Amino acid sequence: MRGDKKLSELPNSLREFSRLRRAPLGTFPTPLEPLPRLKALIGHSGLWIKRDDVTGLGMGGNKTRSLRFLLGDALAKGCDTVLTAGGLQSNLCSLTAAACARLGLACILLHNDDEPQTLVGNMLLNRLFGAAPVFLGKVSEEDRAQAMHRLAMELSKAGRKPYAIHNGASTPVGALGYVEAALELYEQTKAQRVPLKHVCVVGAMGGTASGFVYGTALLGGPWHVHVISVEYPVPELESRLRILFEGLEELLGRSPVAPESVMTLCDDYLGPGYGIPTVESKEARRLLAHYEGVITENVYTSKTAAGMIGLIRSGIISRDEACCFIHTGGMGALFAQT
């Protein structure tokens, strides 16, 4: 589907999508804005940014979309306590804490690290939101997941109704948030008359990327999605996305075009590894701040922006075709970074 259609004319799976349970979180749609000074600097005709850093919950960010569906599921099941896990500066943990505060749910955060002496960044926000932290020490992600499972079992035995959010919210239900983001962006491009041909989105554990790619496939592929890996080499990221695509197909039905046909995976901007800034990501961070007043952080958004700029400079993304950068936020963690 590459014509100018309304969502009411799209397949049943998309019309039914609007009926899925969501928690009342965030302010949507997030803005779709031009980047006029950056596009002039790098010699591009139409550069845009989707501002998912301003979702209206906590410090904003992509996990707000995931939590709408995950906590909608939790509320539907009558749960009263939400558990999730991550590092000390986990954006998911912070936004989960904010969401639970908004919804009146208890929130327990498990961190695979020692208790910090000073609360900065997301750790400070978590306390403000009233979340209860559990510090496990420097254990593996597998051990952290097992600890969360044990705690959920203990809470159940005590008469509580826990809801555990696993894998950084990168589950099929969590990925629904970015299926919705693709539909939202499609409507915005029609309303704002943006002839969008390329979208650059972060590739980490896969929840954001899989949802956005699957939503794009459900729409019939109105643009091509460039998934910029910030955590895994392409083969591992591809495997993670494939599993999530299968889960999304079970929830929404098969897309009219294959998700793999509307995406390209890129790990050229990963650098030495997850969370380690590169020359390109530092440049992207500086350019967006200096020329557009847009802030990015070291782990996710600056590397995604670096990927977009690099793909334009290399000619993989044509300078004559409109391109959009999905800004996924993470501003809480920024204040614990150097």
Bridging pattern class, strands 224-229 and 106-111: unpaired
Contact 32, 189 (CB under 8 A): yes
- Between CA 289 and CA 308 the distance in angstroms is 16
Both tokens assigned to 134: 């559990």
Q: Which two tokens stand for residue 273?
A: 């590894």
Q: Which amino acid is at 67?
A: L
Among 13, 45, 90, 170, the one annotated catalytic: 90
Q: DSSP secondary structure string, 268-330?
A: TT-TTSTT---HHHHHHHHHHHHHH-----TTTHHHHHHHHHHHHHHTSS-TTSEEEEEE-B-
Instruction: Residue 316: name the closest of 277, 273, 269 by CA.
Output: 269
Whole-angstrom distance, CA of residue 163 vs CA of residue 211: 22
One-letter identity of residue 169: A
Q: Are strands 47-51 and 224-229 parallel, antiparallel or unpaired?
A: unpaired
Residue 94 a catalytic site member: no
Q: Provide the total of helices (H) and of strands (E) in the chain, helices listed first.
A: 12, 10
Amino acid identity of 328?
T
Cα separation, 297 vs 49, in Å, equals: 15
Q: Which residues contact 195 (CB under 8 A, 6 or more apart)?
A: 46, 189, 321, 322
Which sequence positions are flagged as catalytic?
Answer: 90
